Amino acid sequence: MPFFAPWRKPQAESRPLSEIYKDEESVCRELKFLQQFSGLKNIASYYGAYYRAPLTECSSELLEIVLEYCGGGSLYNLISKTNDQSLKENWIGYVCKEVLKGLHHIHKNRAVHKDIKSPNIMLTETAKVKIIDFGHSWDLDPQTGLCDEAEGTPHWMAPEAIRQKGQRLAFDTKCDIWSLGIIAIEMAEGKAPYAGQYPVEDLIIEAQPPKLQSNRWSQHFVSFLECCLKKDPSERWSAEELRQHPFVTQLPPKKIVRAEIEEHLRTLQNLPAKKGLKVVALWTLKQLRHAYDFCTQPSAEQEAALQMALEGVSCYCLVANTINSPERVS
């Protein structure tokens, strides 16, 4: 039987009703994007969502979301566990190339992720790159092609998204490109620019675009970052344009780079060498107070079908609001 982590219902008086409804809206929006983008190579696959009854009288009804399991852990963990916290340039180029593929699909569908950061980039055991966490994602306005809902994680947020907070200023998909540039620096230097400095939002808005501190990196890498980190989003390259940049087009064969990263992951995590193990993730998100078309209490037949699908599967639990790192639970 798979493990289900309980999410305890908060005290009714501890949170305003408007906040509870906002959470419900956010979760349903995330499920919508998971459904829309599931099956794309560089986005974690979504297998379904359903309610599970409370495990005890003291616990709450759970919304269970079944996602593709990424056994290599998050990019954040890969960086933090690597010696000197600096990845090889070819690895950085490979990750950027794969993330750009995912962003290209998202942006082509007139949506913006808004929370591209190293904890939200996952690796499978074979070093495939997957984007996760669409909790802040938003559809672009069909007429203007813009978004005016600023959310995200400050160190990775674009200047225009930070300026928008509280001012209802619009921005577009280029905010995800800035975030990718920050991730690229993080992979090279072990931390995002301005890490440990506050207020980071003011630094991002007022300072010149961040650059690599060392001169050991190639000119292609430096140029790629300049294209990602232009303060004016109209001058910043799109995902489609960046996919043609020499930094990601002149890499060694993907098979070679992936094999290197895969071996490194196995060393870091002591992963078994055998392949082909069927694994999925069970990700407990939030309690919903109402039933929606795509996340309702399953029938007995649906429940039995899911249990049959999970037979022989190694189940892991990714708990919301934590660093995206897999924890073995069964």
pLDDT per residue, tens digit, the chain (330 aa), is: 222 322 333 333 344 434 444 567 778 888 899 999 988 989 999 888 877 776 666 666 677 788 888 999 999 999 999 988 999 999 999 999 999 999 999 999 999 999 999 999 999 999 999 999 998 888 877 666 666 666 778 999 999 888 876 555 567 899 999 999 999 999 999 999 999 888 899 999 999 999 999 999 999 999 999 999 999 999 999 999 999 999 999 999 999 999 999 999 999 877 554 443 333 444 333 333 333 333 444 556 655 555 554 444 333 333 333 333 333 333
Q: Is residue 6 situated within a structural domain?
A: no
Helix (H, G, I), strand (E, B) or coil at 73: strand
pTM, to two decimals:
0.77
Q: Does residue 91 sit in the same domain as residue 139?
A: yes
Owning domain of residue 28: 12-70+273-328
Total of domains in the chain:
2
How many other β-carbons are positioned within 10 Å of the β-carbon of residue 291? 10
Tell me which DSSP letter residue 152 carries: S
Structure tokens given for 171: 């921005």
Q: Does residue 61 sit in the same domain as residue 80?
A: no
Distance CA 246, CA 250 (A): 5
Position 66 scores a pLDDT of 82
Q: Does residue 34 sit in the same domain as residue 102?
A: no
Position 315 scores a pLDDT of 39
- The distance from CA 160 to its chain's CA centroid, rounded to whole angstroms, is 20
Q: Are 283 and 295 in contact (CB under 8 A)?
A: no
Residues involved in catalysis: 115
3-state helix, strand, coil in the chain (%, to 5): 40, 15, 45
Burial of 40 (0-12, 13-18, 19+ CB in 10 A): middle
Q: Is residue 156 situated within a structural domain?
A: yes
Q: Does residue 115 sit in the same domain as residue 134?
A: yes
Q: Does residue 18 sit in the same domain as residue 155?
A: no
Q: What is the CA radius of gyration of the chain?
A: 20
Position 143 scores a pLDDT of 65
Q: Does residue 140 sit in the same domain as residue 30?
A: no
Asked whether the CA dihedral 202, 204, 210, 213 is positive or negative, the reply is: positive
Distances (CA, A) of 53 to 48, 109, 310: 16, 35, 18
Which CATH number do you get for residue 258?
1.10.510.10
